Amino acid sequence: MSQQVLPTSYSQEDHSPSPPKGFVDSLKADAKDRLQSFKSGFRLGELSGSLGDLGTLLPIMLSLSLTGQVDLTASLIFGGLWNIVTGLTFRMPMCVQPMKSIAAIALTNHMSIGSVMSAGMGVSAVVMALGITRTIHIVQKYTPMAVIRGIQLGTAISFGGKAAELVKQAKSFGGDSWTWDNNYEWAIFSFIVVFIFYYRSKRIPTAMILFSIGLIIAFVKLYTNPPPKAVYPKIGVYTIGVTVPTWEEFKHGFVSASLGQIPLTCLNSVIALAALAKDLFPERPTGTPTIAISVGMMNLVGCFFGSIPFCHGSGGLAAQYRFGARTEVSIIILGFLKIFFGLFFGSSLSGLIASYPSAILGVMLFVSGIELGAVARTVNDGVVDDQKRHANFIVMITTAAMLVGFKNDGIGFIGGLVAALCFYIGSKYFSSMDDDIQVLTEQQPATMSPAISSSMGGNAPVEGHKGQ
């Protein structure tokens, strides 16, 4: 998919250095369009939508920062910077979220901060190369839409599982173990609030309401019942340092974490994201090379300063869209907030984040998954042939099931591709199962159900069944 915002070539008369006619007009039109977008974007719905992806961001960023595997100050500052840059570049609420596979492997294997940074830079170098050379188009061209939808559906189900884990961290109903700040009651309340106003997200900022409630709870808990060695927010000027991985850390990070993250980033953060962006914002086409280059730039810069490896993602975009984000204003505002808190509060926010109720975060993550999974309903849009529709659905389910079962996007992708290839070979070189079904259905009376027709041998007269 090619996109051209401004002319890339033009003729100049008399070798004049002045821009050609129409160039300045294009700039003015683009500036006017951006200004109108900014004006329309300053509303509560956009601010609420910017918070929609916190269910993914906060738990991962906090876990890695508490173990010293990333720098919280750098993660906030660079996360905010990338929010602003991507908002201005793509002009939609393009999310900036952690690389989940790297985070999981880093926490499990107790990797050093240098290895984590190496893993992020390794993934970004590969993905950026695919974007610059535009070979990412090859992956996109030969990936069936049913496989892409399967990845989105599988990711949505995975989000649901992770959301359940967050909610389970809360205490159960009543009993001696019950605590007021993080319990199932808060989860049920959040669930009801979200779904009552599900179709009013542009007017009623449900994400902002839930985030504010959780923030109040976290403040009260931190200052009334602090955990041992609690860290309190402290205003100041927080700086970041340079992180230079050793060669051994780079090899360890790339082999242990990068190789597993590369398929996830290519498929979910680039190809599936481009497909979702086209569904949600057809007026702003986004090319896969541009997204791939964006992912590369984020980590080849930020990881040198200890920032958590970032990427984009279809789940984050779906979450922010569901909670009200419709323009780039949402994530630009979020970006400035991250930079502010990173510069003036920095790592001192870890105690407050740790006190945030997981019950509320879990519900927000759950809704993100639902919104992402909902796009799977379009897998057969424009497909008329019943056999093709059935095959698409099976390929999608196969991809999603293998992704969830093996907890690996790459395995889900390969499984979906193999299933799609088998269907292609079967339809091209072998008899069609639907042809046999068509013959059987043509033998059945039009007004009789297949079950009744089968029980009567398939030859019952139509007239004998009329009026019954």
Tell me what pLDDT residue 451 has.
Answer: 44
Q: Give the pLDDT confidence of 346-389 residue by residue, as tens digits.
A: 999 999 998 999 999 889 888 878 877 888 888 898 888 898 99
Report residue 171: phi and psi, to 5°: -80, 150
Q: Which residue is it, tokens 């808190």?
A: 341
The pLDDT value given to residue 10:
36
Q: What is the mean pLDDT of residues 22-48?
A: 72
- Residue type (1 letter), 170: A
SS3 183: strand
3-state secondary structure of 164: helix
What DSSP state is assigned to residue 376? G
pLDDT digits (tens, 9 = 90+) for 139-183: 888 888 899 888 888 888 888 888 888 899 887 777 677 888 999
Tell me how far apart the alpha carbons of residues 148 and 154 are, in angstroms, rounded to a whole number. 10
What does the pLDDT look like over 410-435, one tens digit per residue? Answer: 788 889 999 999 999 988 888 555 55
pLDDT bucket at 9, cuts 50 / 70 / 90 = very low
Span 198-219, average pLDDT: 85
List the chain domain ranges.
37-376
What is d(CA 69, CA 370) in angstroms, rounded to the nearest whole number?
31
Residue 461: per-residue pLDDT: 44
The tokens for 351 are 């105690």
3-state secondary structure of 178: coil
Task: Give φ, ψ of 375 to 5 degrees.
Answer: -70, -15
- Helix 314-322 and helix 54-66, axial crossing angle in degrees, nearest 10: 130
Mean pLDDT calculated for residue range 47-66: 83
CA angle 107, 150, 92 (to 5 degrees): 75
∠188-48-267 over CA atoms, to 5°?
A: 90
Please report the pLDDT score of residue 102 as a whole number: 85
CA distances from 252 to 81, 123, 203, 297, 299 (A): 28, 13, 48, 22, 17
pLDDT at 67: 84
Instruction: Return the C-alpha torsion angle 16, 21, 22, 28, nearest 10.
Output: 80
Cβ neighbours of residue 180 under 8 Å, at least 6 residues apart?
none
Specify the 3-state DSSP secondary structure of 40: helix
Distances in whole angstroms, Cα of residue 322 to Cα of each of 56, 163, 333? 15, 16, 17
pLDDT at 81: 96
For residue 314 the two structure tokens come to 């279809």
Which residue shows structure tokens 């509320």?
360
Q: Could you tell me if residue 183 is left (phi over 0), alpha (psi between -120 and 50 degrees) or otherwise beta? A: beta
Measure the CA–CA gap between 135 and 288, rounded to whole angstroms.
10
